[in-house]
């Protein structure tokens, strides 16, 4: 079992050069399988976790997120970054307090976003958003730790797809101490290149939730990190819903032909 110091150092190194995929498990089982497949690090998914608990993405509480982080961290030996949503607070002081709690959960990194969850005013004011990142950065360096901080701006997924504003925010977040910058929803070559150039030499994460690119194509654009968010959870839910709806609707079981064999799954978790 690696130490937290070793995991954190590994996650920092992964962001320094090259390009890596950091997939998003939603429970201990999926985390262990992704580790078995050779991925060097993992990131939690707030949506995947929320759905597994029978909740929507915005209904999780900070205590639930922290408990989830501990379970994932304890289940694997590779670095884990936590999807910490909006820090579960509006003001910088509250964000810092919650990040300090997250530091103690064993994470090697975490992300904080600028979404307010208010559809009428979906992004925190620019100055406040920057101060929230700065507070998270300072808190993530406490207790002898130096977590990898990812700062996200959510404009492209909350109805504010303004590339200039996205670059302005990410550049300011980088100056405020974020190690990795992330704008979920950008997907064109022009958008990605603009963001990479705007925050260089800091690392950029690109979210891939559909078949619009490849690892090599993103690496060629200078992207350092690729995540899939809730996409793996959506794949699993898609298969589940198709099979369950077939049974309830037609009384047939043909979807089960595509199920993973019992022995193959059970064998992955044998001790």
Residues of the chain with pLDDT > 90, as a percent, come to: 97
Given the structure tokens 């032909």, which residue do they identify?
257
pLDDT value of position 224: 98
pLDDT (mean) for 234-246:
98
* Token pair belonging to 116: 């307010």
pLDDT tens figures, 95-127: 999 999 999 999 999 999 999 999 999 999 999
Domain residue ranges of the chain, discontinuous segments joined by +: 4-229, 230-271
The DSSP element (H or E) to which 109 belongs, if any, is strand 109-113
Quick check: 143 pLDDT over 80?
A: no
CB 219 within 8 A of CB 232: no
**pLDDT band at 130; cut points 50, 70, 90:** very high
What does the pLDDT average to over 162-174? 98
Burial 171-181 (b: 16+ CB within 10 A, else e): bbbbebbbbbb
pLDDT digit string (tens) for 171-219?
999 999 999 999 999 999 999 999 999 999 999 999 999 999 999 999 9
Identify the CATH number of the domain defined by range 4-229: 3.20.20.60
Of 227, 229, 240, 192, the residue nearest 47 (C-alpha): 229
pLDDT at residue 248 in the model = 98
pLDDT digits (tens, 9 = 90+) for 30-74: 999 999 999 999 999 999 999 999 999 989 999 999 999 999 999
Q: What are the DSSP E strand ranges found in the chain? A: 20-21, 42-43, 80-83, 109-113, 148-152, 180-182, 203-207, 225-227
DSSP state, residue 255: G
Query: What does the mean pLDDT of the chain come to?
Result: 97
On the question of pLDDT at 1 being above 70, the answer is no
Q: Give the angle subtended at the CA of 147 by the CAs of 50 and 235, to the nearest 5°.
A: 30
Band (144; pLDDT cuts 50, 70, 90): confident
pLDDT of residue 2: 85
DSSP 81: E
Two tokens at 27?
């429970």
φ/ψ (deg, to 5) at 93 = -65, -40
How far is it between the farthest Cα atoms of the chain? 59
Continuous segment of H or E residues that includes residue 112:
strand 109-113
Which pLDDT score is estimated for 58?
A: 87
Q: Are 184 and 229 in contact (CB under 8 A)?
A: yes
Q: Taking Cα atoms as reference points, which of 190, 187, 170 lies closest to residue 179?
A: 170
CB 66 within 8 A of CB 101: yes
């Amino acid at each position: 079992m690696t130490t937290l110091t070793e995991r954190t150092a590994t996650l920092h190194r992964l962001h320094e050069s090259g390009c890596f995929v950091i997939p998003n498990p939603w429970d201990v089982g999926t985390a262990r399988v992704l580790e078995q497949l050779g991925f060097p690090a993992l990131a939690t998914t707030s949506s995947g976790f929320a759905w597994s608990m029978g909740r929507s993405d915005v209904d999780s509480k900070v205590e639930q997120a922290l408990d989830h982080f501990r379970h994932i961290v304890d289940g694997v030996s590779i670095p884990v970054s936590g999807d910490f949503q909006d820090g579960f607070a509006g003001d910088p002081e509250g964000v810092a307090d919650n990040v300090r709690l997250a530091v103690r959960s064993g994470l090697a990194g975490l992300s904080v976003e600028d979404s307010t969850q208010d559809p009428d005013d979906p992004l925190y004011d620019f100055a406040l958003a920057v101060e929230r990142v700065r507070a998270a950065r300072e808190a993530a360096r406490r207790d002898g730790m130096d977590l990898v901080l990812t700062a996200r701006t959510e404009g492209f997924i909350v109805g504010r797809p303004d590339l200039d504003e996205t670059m302005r925010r990410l550049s300011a977040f980088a100056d405020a101490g974020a190690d990795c910058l992330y704008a979920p929803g950008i997907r064109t070559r022009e958008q990605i290149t603009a963001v990479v150039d705007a925050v260089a030499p800091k690392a950029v994460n690109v979210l891939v939730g559909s078949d619009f690119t490849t690892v090599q194509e993103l690496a060629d654009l200078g992207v350092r990190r690729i995540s899939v968010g809730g996409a793996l959870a959506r794949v699993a839910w898609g298969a589940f819903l198709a099979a369950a709806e077939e049974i309830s609707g037609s009384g047939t079981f043909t979807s089960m032909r595509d199920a993973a064999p019992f022995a193959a799954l059970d064998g992955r978790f044998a001790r």
